[in-house]
Amino acid sequence: MTTVTKSTLAGVLFTRIGLNKREAGEFVERFFGQIKKSLGEGQAVKLSGFGNFDLIKKSARPGRNPRTGEPVAITPRTVVTFRPSAKLKARVAAAQSETPPPQKEKS
């Protein structure tokens, strides 16, 4: 499994697009900075062909500490959710059908 990092994305812009390393790194930082800014201002973000980042307001509710079992009050908060687009779902499904599932080792 490969992890995609900001550095990886900047490397792709450098090798495939031809931006220099500084420009590529700045582009990636500004891209994610704009997403963070929009979400911070309460706006949903839609990346066509990729998916949507939505904000959901969760109200206060009772919870339980899983370690001790004690009741705990969970404070209200806003969370970011991601819903992949149909195109992304189809691409992932196609990639998974091409790759056989990993085999479990027999002991």
Residue 62: inside a domain: no
Residue 49: inside a domain: no
CA distances to 10, 40, 54, 61, 105 from 74, rounded to whole Å, are 39, 21, 21, 5, 42
Tell me, what CATH number does 37's domain have?
A: 4.10.520.10
Would you write out the chain's pLDDT as a tens digit for each of its 107 residues? 689 999 999 999 999 999 999 999 999 999 999 999 999 999 999 999 999 999 999 999 999 999 999 999 999 999 999 999 999 999 999 988 876 666 666 65
What domain count does the chain have?
Answer: 1
Q: Quote the pLDDT of residue 97.
A: 86
Q: Quote the pLDDT of residue 105.
A: 67
Q: Quote the pLDDT of residue 36.
A: 97
Q: Quote the pLDDT of residue 4.
A: 92
Residue 84: inside a domain: no
In order, the DSSP letters of 58-95 are: E--EEEE-TTT--EEEEPPEEEEEEEE-HHHHHHHHHH
